[in-house]
Amino acid sequence: MSFFDKIAELINGGESSGSFHSRMSTIAQQLGLEIHFDEDGDPVCTFVVEFQGESYFLIAMQRGDKVLLSACSNIKFPPGCLPRDVAAYLAEQNRSLEKCDYDAMETRKNSYFTAKAAARFSAMSAEIIRWAIDELVLRMAALDTLLVRKGYAN
């Protein structure tokens, strides 16, 4: 282990970004998923999940001893233009969700919805990523379908 890996272990709660990359690569292989890592070597990766002919992205980002999981809607809106009624409905849904939450993201280029959750890095497994796909990615696919049906997107 290099000096920099040891420093990264201290910063990331005992696990280096190399450990994160190794574990996530193993999980992707176990689940047969395409995976992409952050170009800067940060402990961030994106699993590509194919669902009903669409590619959805499940992002895993290590922060200390936690891994934040986030699935993104494929439907993007101009900055600041998320449908307010949909955002309000999702905020209301968050009150009844125990293991995940909906969120709204804003960038300079666009706005979009996400579903997010967190897990301990030490517990990170193919089972947890499978849960995130079944729970988070499917919520985004259902939301995208609803947005199209309600005329918010094509």
Asked whether residue 7 carries a pLDDT value surpassing 50, the answer given is no
Q: Quote the number of domains for the chain.
A: 1
Q: Nearest 5°: CA angle at 118, between 65 and 126?
A: 90
- Assigned token pair, 145: 């379908």
Strand bridging mode 34-37 / 44-51: antiparallel
Residue 119: DSSP 8-state: E
pTM: 0.84
Element (H, E) at 59: strand 54-63
Structural domain contains residue 117: yes
Burial class (CB in 10 A: 0-12, 13-18, 19+), 99: exposed
Tell me, yes or no, whether 154 lies in a domain.
Answer: no
Is residue 10's pLDDT more than 90?
A: no
Digit-coded pLDDT (tens) for 25-82: 999 999 999 999 988 889 999 999 999 899 999 999 999 999 999 999 999 999 999 9
Task: Determine, yes or no, domain membership for 13.
Answer: yes
Q: What is the CATH number of the domain that holds 78?
A: 3.30.1460.10
C-beta separation of 82 from 113 below 8 A: yes
| % of the chain surpassing 90 pLDDT | 82
pLDDT, tens digit, 9 for 90 and up, residues 75-119: 999 999 999 999 999 999 999 999 999 999 999 999 999 999 999
| 7: in domain | yes
Look up the domain containing 94 and give its range.
3-149
